[in-house]
Structure 1
Amino acid sequence: MEATSSSKQTRFTDWLTANNARFPKLEFRNDVQGSGSVYCTGDIAENEIFLTVPFTPLVITDTLAREQLPASVQSLDGRTALTLFLVQQVLMNVNAGTNGASFFQPYLDMVPERIHTALDFDDDDLEQLRGTNAFLTVKELKENLLQKYKDTMRVVGDDLRIEDGYSWERFLWAETVLSSRAFPAHLFGGGIEGEIVLIPLGGKLDTLNHKSRQKATWIKTPQGLEMSGGAISKGDQIFNNYGPKSNEELLVGYGFCIEDNLDDLVVIKPNFSRDPDQERKTEILKHVGVTEQTIHYLRYGSITDQSDSIPDQLLVTMRVMAMNPAEAGHCCDLIHHYEHQLESEEDESEETQEARLKIAESAISVALRKELQFLGVRNEFAMLDLLDMLLNAKLQGILEWDSKLDAPKNQAQEFARIYRRGQRQILEAGSNICRGMFSALLQESCSASLPTQQAVFIGASIESQLQPGQQPRRPLGFGLQRRIESPEAYTTAYFNEKALKDTRTMSELKREAVRQVLLSARDIMIEHKTDQFGEALGYAFPNHRYDDNSSSEEDEDPQGDEDDDEAAMTMQMERDAILTCFLVFESEYPGRFKKFITTAKEYDYSSQLDEDMMEDVEDLRQSLQETLEEVDPDVFDFSAKFTGQAFIWATGLIEALSLSFHIDGQRVEGVLALRDAEGDTDNEDNGQRKRKHE
């Protein structure tokens, strides 16, 4: 396997011709980079056959490989058999003096000794992939191949020994030959063992190179294959089309990348293995065709020109991941409803039961897909926040290493840089679309036209589908009721191109959302810092008392592990307690959340809370009673207003509508709640709210 020379090119073409391959207008020579390529010696018309390859004796198949190898190989898979066959044929060439050269020597002489795919990267080359999917992919692939080699050598035993030349280095070389040059066996139709074959012509890198979207047609004939394509002028290079390949596939499998590759993509694989509600969410996703193994893709050709936005299946998956227990319960109710509706009847045949099951599954899938186009504004905000974190984490992983890496020193590292740029462009485009969706949702949520009194909750939306006596599991976040009444009015159609022109960063948009749609404990303590209500809460929760010297970030928590988990949990419980008190207070003394509270009071939230939570709510109420009644027994009337039922209602509301935004490494938490328009608050009890502490 010495460097390719003109004599080897001649020997190769003579060998092909002698074995009935036909290529009257093709010339094999190196391109300007020194890579073996194929050029046109005369004009070729569109669809003209310019290459004919006979199946016998040129095509290397699984069957041929097994015929030449020892019996111990027969238990191995087809790809491994081809790998060992290539090593065997190379060793025949090396030992030609005693064993005779391989029939395929002219072809093998055309294959470089080193095939510079990512599997051949040294440590410096691999370093150029730091922070990307490919870095882990290549390391994992090499580890798997090394293990495969060890397992293979154990199986073949003394039949194919390392001492005889079956080394790891040759095994890896043969694997890269297959990854960069093998063709799918189905090109020849049925009857061929194995999934791949080697055709000693058009072997990817050293003969027919790849060009995206190039017209290339392979035609099966009784004797083998013919190839045609588009019109080609004399002197032009002839290309094959490997199909749509991302730069990661090209780099790992073939050793090169394409700048601005329209088929490039970023792999997204959300992980919710640590989600405490994983079981229910897995069930929901299963019914819409998504499993934990499902991989999602952001594609360069669609996402960079915003023609296809973010894939719908990825958005559906992220909505499920962002579900709170109430939303997951709502979707599980739908599943159980259709399962109940289509339960099998007595004396029903097996065929009828099967048909009924298929109908139920189809009905569940349709219903869930409709719900998961837009589950509610709370869920949509949570989904976009989660998606933004996911995309930004992948992007920052690339950017962090971009500034640390040395300048490329060879072609492999140049290709790695092309790959990195493509990944960065796709992630930046995806993040921009996510930002545009967030902007549009925020505008819609703050719109005066949003029918808050009817669109805040959807608790009754599935009432007609439930069994007699069964209550809706929960009201969801506002928005879906409007979609149910008018499906086209409020789905992901809220996204519009104008939102992409919003120049605010995602952090700025999230801070605006905190001001506009999030009710937090900090907001409450600021608004009521000088009245009786705020004074009482400040006395009960001194860590949350607000004054002019308080930090502007007081209600924000760092992401990640807390230094003191117990203290963090206490702070969280205190924030929830403040929110609970405020919601009860607001329900008795209507203020700027009058419409929101009025609608929320129509629903029973006790189903949100289990027995232990009920006890915790009552313990909280009792612990606050003495403190708050002492400050102002008229406002904090625990016998008539701050009742156990009121606390349960408020706690359930928090469970259903809690929301957090992650902003510049901080987490801001609260409850999704729309403010009434300024001047729209009409309450007779406002005097109670404004009494100052004397």
Structure 2
Amino acid sequence: MDAPLSKQKRFVDWLTQHSASFQKLQFREDNEGCGSVYASTDIAEDEVFLTIPFSPLVLTDGLARKALPDSAQSLDGRTALTLFLMQQRLLKENAFFQPYLDMVPDKIHTALEFDDQDLEHLRGTNAYLTVKELQQKLRQKFNDTMRIVGGELKEQDGYTWEKFLWAETVLSSRAFPAHLFGGGVEGEIVLIPLADTLNHKSRHKATWIKTQQGLEMSGAAASKGDQLFNNYGPKSNEELLTGYGFCIEDNKDDMVTLKTNFSRDPDQERKSAILKQLGITDETIHYLQMDSVPELLLVAMRVMAMNPAETGYYFDLMEQQEQDGTENEEETLKGREQRLQDRNRRTALVLTKELQFIGLRNEFAMLDLIDMLLSTKARGILEWDAQLSAPQNQAQEFAQIYRRGQREILKSCADIIRGMFSVLLEESQSSNMNMERAAFIGSNVQQGALVQAERRPKSSDTYCDAYFKVKAHDEARSMSELKQEAIQQVLLTASSIMNEQREGVFGEALMSAFPGHGWGEKDGGVEEDEELDEETEMAVQMEQDAILTCFLIFESRYPEHFKRFITAAKKFDYSSQLDEDMRDDVQDLHQSLQDTLEATDPEKFDFQSTFTAKAFLWATGLLETLSLSLHIDGDLVSGILAPRDAAPGS
């Protein structure tokens, strides 16, 4: 213990010699063997217990550059500090900052120091790719730096990769942002001896004050013997692991990061334009926290789940807002900038309100997409959990804490999505749901003006994370069970039509029209493990669409289980959105089915008054606008959003 004590005494003497003040502090190891700072006597709340003069104790990039050769002057500030730390370490006893660096561990176990075995314990998580990328970038940074300064700071003289990595981890784990103290610009950092010895405690009161002489620190009250803490600010476990080398159990600031990807969406351009008005781009990172799904993620996923009709409607709405406020030839440049700012702000406000709920079809599709996203991310972690060995060192133990936190956040957010799905399913079957406003695009516009009435039974303020968390707690069904219920109650499929109608006149007609469909089997009569070629798959899809189209027309004339939906649907005609090729296909379908259906029952399948070409166009437009697919237990079930009427007495 003599050596550590002598290092500690040299450090204290060095600080005191250069006017640092810390009379109420003492240094010793904490329960985990780390050097920490404790109160030697009681400290009152907001009492200054630490003062560090700027000069000569604070390490800045300006100070570093003065000690480095000419070749290093073009480097950025962080790299200059990295080389300076290496230089000071190599000078040993001749270095001014040696007493300080003696207190810095020879190896700081941030994730940058993880070896292959440690990295394995991050498999399946965001941090795995983050750390791999950081390690590669840091190695490249070392190579680039040595190409610049290698003529004067040589590897054979000690400027090695290992020391470069050590210096970088010193900065990542101990540096302070310079701008917090009124100096430097965003991104610049400084090292503050003694101040960086205090360990982090989340949400702990810690106040830094800049004075003419230096920096003063105060904070929460402490009793004699209490450990004193700094507060690095809200840090997730991923940030703590990669930058500082530790994780916190039950970290209230922990999060899971997500990015949305529109790259394969055929309507990417218009959807991106809509999201851009809200400040959302392909690079936007969404942060999930415990029991908290960010609203911007829901908005982004609603836009991602838009079908062409929805995209066109909201794109036109955006353009309409952007065209308001015509340009005045006499307006000044400043006036024009103000007008454009006001226009963009107005457009963002309108879209923000409108995108809280687009419609039943879109909301079900959006929740299905997020459920798939969260399930895939959680599954990636769980699958690796089963393959990992027990932790063999502290780095791997921290990795396990991080993994556990990621799983818990994902589960809590998945529960909120499950609560949202449960509420939506319940509302879609409720008589309190205005089917016209809730299900159909354009129903919220009258004579060009937005209708302010809510499109859901409750006010928009009701639908928040806390509300959905309670609903999820009270909902005993799993997400798969809820989706099964949705398929039974709100998703009309060709399969459900065939199963329910096979004994009736409609079923008889459909069996004649589509004899090979496979009544009572999976849609299209396809075996569970049978793979279809592209041509056959398209034929099956066309047949299923034809069945749905015919049923919508039949139900519009003889409503049985969908009266509420059909009554609202009759007020909307989306056939104008069908392109010429699709209109020709509909015409062909109409002609091809006439003889078969009329032969079954010419009264109910009257192609002169009910099953007209116009009716086929109406039903096809409805199908194109309200088509919905749900992922459930590895299968994709497709149909049209068509909530059934509630059972009597329900």
Which whole-Å CA distance do the structure 2 matches of 1:201 and 1:562 have between them? Answer: 67
| CA distances 1:186-244 after superposition (whole Å, capped 9, x unpaired) | 233136796100112122xxx21111122111111111111111111111211111111
1:539–1:545 CA contact under 8 A, matched in 2: no
Counterpart residue type for residue 657 of structure 1 = L
Which whole-Å CA distance do the structure 2 matches of 1:534 and 1:86 have between them? Answer: 82
Please, which moves more after superposition, 340-349 or 82-91? Answer: 340-349
The structural deviation recorded for 1:622 is 3.5
Asked if residue 439 in structure 1 is aligned to residue 410 in structure 2, the reply is no
Q: Secondary structure at the match of 2:59?
A: coil
Counterpart residue type for residue 127 of structure 2 = A
- Decide whether aligned partners of structure 1 residues 645 and 430 sit closer, same or farther in structure 2, where only a CA change above 3 A counts: same
* Aligned positions, number: 647
1:374–1:492 CA contact under 8 A, matched in 2: no
Identity %: 63
Aligned residue number for residue 366 of structure 2: 383
Aligned residue number for residue 664 of structure 1: 633
Asked if residue 280 in structure 1 is aligned to residue 270 in structure 2, the reply is yes
Match for residue 160 of structure 1 among 153, 160, 163:
153
Asked if residue 594 in structure 1 is aligned to residue 563 in structure 2, the reply is yes
The structural deviation recorded for 1:458 is 4.6
Aligned residue number for residue 29 of structure 1: 28
Aligned residue number for residue 138 of structure 2: 145
Asked if residue 488 in structure 1 is aligned to residue 459 in structure 2, the reply is yes
Which whole-Å CA distance do the structure 2 matches of 1:543 and 1:174 have between them? Answer: 72
Asked if residue 319 in structure 1 is aligned to residue 292 in structure 2, the reply is no
Asked if residue 536 in structure 1 is aligned to residue 529 in structure 2, the reply is no
The structural deviation recorded for 1:451 is 3.4
Q: Secondary structure at the match of 1:273?
A: coil
| CA distances 1:550-587 after superposition (whole Å, capped 9, x unpaired) | 359968989xx976333333322221121112112222
Aligned residue number for residue 350 of structure 1: 333
- Decide whether aligned partners of structure 1 residues 316 and 642 sit closer, same or farther in structure 2, where only a CA change above 3 A counts: same
TM-score by length of 2: 0.93
TM-score by length of 1: 0.88
1:4–1:109 CA contact under 8 A, matched in 2: no
The structural deviation recorded for 1:174 is 1.1
Which whole-Å CA distance do the structure 2 matches of 1:186 and 1:602 have between them? Answer: 60
Aligned residue number for residue 507 of structure 1: 480
1:182–1:199 CA contact under 8 A, matched in 2: yes
Aligned residue number for residue 386 of structure 2: 403
Which whole-Å CA distance do the structure 2 matches of 1:655 and 1:556 have between them? Answer: 26
| CA distances 1:402-453 after superposition (whole Å, capped 9, x unpaired) | 1111111111111111111111111111111111111111111111332335
Asked if residue 451 in structure 1 is aligned to residue 434 in structure 2, the reply is yes
1:457–1:481 CA contact under 8 A, matched in 2: no
Which whole-Å CA distance do the structure 1 matches of 2:453 and 2:588 have between them? Answer: 38
Aligned residue number for residue 44 of structure 1: 43
Which whole-Å CA distance do the structure 1 matches of 2:492 and 2:204 have between them? Answer: 56
Counterpart residue type for residue 642 of structure 1 = F
Q: Where do residues 591-630 of structure 1 align in structure 2 (5 Å cutoff)? A: 591-630=560-599
Asked if residue 412 in structure 1 is aligned to residue 395 in structure 2, the reply is yes
Q: Secondary structure at the match of 2:78?
A: helix
Asked if residue 71 in structure 1 is aligned to residue 70 in structure 2, the reply is yes
Asked if residue 265 in structure 1 is aligned to residue 255 in structure 2, the reply is yes
1:556–1:667 CA contact under 8 A, matched in 2: no
| CA distances 1:304-343 after superposition (whole Å, capped 9, x unpaired) | xxxxx42222211221111111111121121111122223
2:437–2:444 CA contact under 8 A, matched in 1: no
Aligned residue number for residue 545 of structure 1: 518
| CA distances 1:344-382 after superposition (whole Å, capped 9, x unpaired) | 244544333323222221211111111111111111111
Counterpart residue type for residue 419 of structure 1 = Y
| CA distances 1:462-483 after superposition (whole Å, capped 9, x unpaired) | 24227xxxxx9xxxxxxx9851
Please, which moves more after superposition, 620-629 or 258-267? Answer: 620-629
The structural deviation recorded for 1:109 is 1.4
- Decide whether aligned partners of structure 1 residues 13 and 49 sit closer, same or farther in structure 2, where only a CA change above 3 A counts: same
The structural deviation recorded for 1:294 is 1.2
Q: CA RMSD in A?
A: 2.7
Which whole-Å CA distance do the structure 1 matches of 2:262 and 2:398 have between them? Answer: 33
Which whole-Å CA distance do the structure 2 matches of 1:295 and 1:76 have between them? Answer: 30
Q: Where do residues 115-130 of structure 1 align in structure 2 (5 Å cutoff)? A: 115-130=108-123
Counterpart residue type for residue 454 of structure 2 = R
1:187–1:220 CA contact under 8 A, matched in 2: no
Asked if residue 429 in structure 1 is aligned to residue 422 in structure 2, the reply is no
**Any gaps of 5 or more consecutive residues in structure 2?**
none
Which whole-Å CA distance do the structure 2 matches of 1:599 and 1:112 have between them? Answer: 71
Which whole-Å CA distance do the structure 1 matches of 2:337 and 2:463 have between them? Answer: 35
Which whole-Å CA distance do the structure 2 matches of 1:514 and 1:80 have between them? Answer: 58
**Any gaps of 5 or more consecutive residues in structure 1?**
304-308, 467-471, 473-479, 681-694
